[in-house]
Amino acid sequence: MNTALSKPAILTISGLTAGYGDVQVLWGIDLVVPQGEIVSIVGPNGAGKTTLLLAISGLVRSRLGSIVFDGEDITAQNPDRIVGKRLIHVPEGRRLFPTLSVRDNLMLGAYSRTDGAAEIARDLDFVFSIFPILAERADQVATTMSGGEQQMCAIGRGIMARPKLLLIDELSLGLAPKAVELLAESLVTINMRGISILLVEQDVMTAFEIASTGYVVESGRVRMSGDTRTLIEDPSVKAAYMGL
């Protein structure tokens, strides 16, 4: 039994369809993120994983189905309202502000917060504690850092919004194995702080090692889901995604 699924859900997606213009990408997605857990989505390129995160964030409009976050239906809400509810998206490709310093990029994550400078400073200290290199390079232009360091900054910017749920799209894309290992460890630390995480990841081993629940998405549909310890041993998963 996957004990994570017995916990209350921070996010519940039911029968979600979405796409672009005349092209439908998602075909009836059902997905649950239990409170306080890491859930991973894996699948081939073009499967609809990024579209799913964009739909959750309100950046792609859903056509059918529902998205319930923290007990509220957010299916038709605008992205700014969704961010205000502390559902935060770290996009594929990091998308840092290219002329701003590391510190300024991080602080932009807190732009909508109203809980005061002391709380924001406390969260900045937390970011620097899990990513010490960012503290060392706080005044450096963020996009002059390595890819792994930029990913740290993008995740740190997400943390500065004080999320209840953090969506992370392609953690390891284009990064060296050591950087991926450090980033994966950081997600476990972030999760231990009580932040739920929904991770889209091309590296199945990394995704399933840190997550409690996994979803395999292919052609816009959930083909398989369950406890990651079970999924990682499934022969079809091994053959399709691990070359075994």
Convert the pLDDT of each residue in 175-214 to its tens digit.
Answer: 888 999 999 999 999 999 999 999 999 889 999 999 999 9
> Encoding tokens for residue 207?
């995704």
Tokens standing for residue 226: 């369950």
Residue 94 pLDDT greater than 80, yes or no: no
Residue 162 lies in a domain: no
CA distances from 3 to 59, 86, 191, 227 (A): 32, 25, 16, 9
Based on the structure, what is the number of domains in the chain? Answer: 1
Q: Whole-angstrom Cα distance, residue 222 to residue 164? A: 24
DSSP string, 153-167: HHHHHHHTT--SEEE
Average pLDDT over residues 109-129: 92
Domain that holds residue 210: 1-86+200-244
5 pLDDT tier (thresholds 50, 70, 90): low
Q: What mean pLDDT do residues 15-38 have?
A: 96
Is residue 72 in a domain?
yes
Q: Binning pLDDT at 50, 70 and 90, where does residue 165 land?
A: very high
What is the per-residue pLDDT for 241?
82
Check which CATH number belongs to the domain holding 59 and give it. 3.40.50.300
pLDDT at residue 31, rounded to an integer: 97
Using pLDDT thresholds of 50, 70 and 90, give the confidence band for residue 4.
low
What whole-number distance in Å separates Cα of residue 17 and Cα of residue 221? Answer: 9
Give the Cα-Cα-Cα angle 152, 173, 101 (nearest 5 degrees): 30
pLDDT at 18 over 80: yes
Q: Is residue 46 part of a domain?
A: yes
Q: Which conformational region is residue 64 in: left (phi greater than 0), alpha (psi within -120 to 50 degrees), or beta?
A: beta
Confidence tier at 92 by pLDDT (50, 70, 90):
confident
Query: Is 129 inside any structural domain?
Result: no
Average pLDDT over residues 102-119: 91
Is-contact 179 104, C-beta < 8 A? no
